[in-house]
């Protein structure tokens, strides 16, 4: 019997019943209208609130993955709980969702652990409660029709040094492999909708400019906020090393679009990172 990471969020952040979950995700995907990418998809950026809040936004990016068959999927998220260290992964053999198990590629993770510089502490943890990584997995299970191995990474210390080091390390490690990168991040938290939009547009502009440093420093510069800015920047640096040369923002919305409360919202954006054939 495999050592599965039990889901702490199935039944609250998304449906526990597999049939209901499948139908719900398929509905989000069918409602997401996107222009087909003229190029090779290397990665996506997606929000990580409960599916009812951000699933519609996330679906625009996941829709770009239909028909892809990566052998490896790297999902990078923030870690919202305090731990000792900079970057974390699971010690379990697989992630369990109502749609089945996804095996974790510990061979790749161990290579990473051995090769990262000593000042970046990389730890494996058990039974973590992190929602921002797991929330993306059922979407991946629906859009990717072939089995894949997962490289789950959770970043606590979202500095440029950590993101750039890990990003370039992943780019080198994964070169020539069949891989997809996924960055999990929400945008501004608890501002009035008009203020939130301004802050979020600043982050999305830096993202679309393929400006990894700009994204990671958005809060320092006082122009925006993204709880997974380290995850986004890491994926941008890795994607660049894997040949990506363009980012397209696909959808923006906020929690008020679902709840009707525009006085205190959380912003959500989705984007696709790809290698354009016209550059």
pLDDT tens digit sequence for 260-271: 999 999 999 999
Q: 181 is written with which tokens? A: 């990168």
Question: In Å, what is the CA distance from 100 to each residue of 93, 147, 149, 160?
Answer: 13, 11, 13, 35
pLDDT at 279: 60
Q: Taking 80 as the threshold, does the pLDDT of residue 278 lie above it?
A: no
Strand partners, 4: 94
pTM for this prediction: 0.97
Question: At how many degrees (to 10) do helices 160-174 and 106-115 cross?
Answer: 130
Collect all residues with Cβ–Cβ distance below 8 Å to 128 and sequence separation of at least 6. 5, 79, 81, 88, 90, 154
- The whole-chain average pLDDT of the chain stands at 95
pLDDT at 1: 54
Q: DSSP assignment of 124-151, as one string? A: EESS---HHHHTTHHHHHHH--S--EEE
pLDDT in tens, 85-135: 899 999 999 999 999 999 999 999 999 999 998 899 999 999 999 999 999
Considering the chain, what percentage of its residues have pLDDT values greater than 70?
99
pLDDT in tens, 230-275: 999 999 999 999 999 999 999 999 999 999 999 999 999 999 999 9
Strand 94-97 versus strand 100-103 pairing type: antiparallel
> 247 and 273 in contact (C-beta within 8 Å)?
yes
Residue 2 pLDDT class (50, 70, 90 cuts) = confident
The CATH number of 4-276, from 1.10.1740.10, 3.40.830.10, 3.40.640.10, 3.40.190.10, is 3.40.830.10
């Amino acid at each position: 019997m495999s050592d599965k990471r039990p889901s702490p969020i199935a039944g609250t952040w998304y449906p526990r019943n597999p049939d209901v979950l499948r139908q719900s995700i398929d509905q989000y995907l069918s409602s997401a209208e996107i222009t087909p990418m003229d190029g090779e998809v290397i990665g996506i950026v997606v929000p990580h609130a409960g599916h009812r809040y951000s699933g519609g936004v996330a679906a625009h990016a996941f829709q770009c993955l239909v028909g892809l068959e990566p052998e490896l999927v790297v999902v990078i998220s923030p870690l919202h709980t305090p731990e000792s260290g900079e970057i974390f992964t699971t010690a379990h053999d697989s992630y369990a969702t109502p749609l089945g198990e996804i095996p974790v590629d510990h061979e790749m993770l161990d290579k990473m652990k051995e090769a990262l510089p000593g000042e970046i502490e990389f730890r494996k943890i058990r039974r973590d409660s992190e929602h921002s990584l797991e929330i993306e997995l059922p979407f991946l299970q629906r859009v990717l029709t072939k089995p894949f191995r997962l490289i789950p990474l959770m970043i606590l210390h979202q500095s440029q040094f950590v993101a750039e080091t890990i990003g370039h390390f992943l780019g080198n490690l994964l070169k020539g492999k069949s891989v997809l990168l996924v960055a999990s991040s929400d945008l501004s938290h608890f501002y009035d909708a008009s203020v939130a939009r301004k802050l979020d547009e600043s982050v999305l502009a830096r993202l679309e400019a393929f400006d990894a440093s700009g994204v990671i420093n958005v809060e320092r510069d006082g122009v925006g906020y993204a709880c997974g800015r380290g995850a986004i920047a890491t994926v941008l640096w890795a994607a660049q090393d894997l040949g990506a040369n363009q980012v397209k923002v696909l959808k923006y919305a906020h929690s008020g679009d679902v709840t009707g409360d525009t006085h205190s919202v959380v912003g959500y954006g989705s984007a696709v990172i790809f290698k354009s054939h016209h550059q």
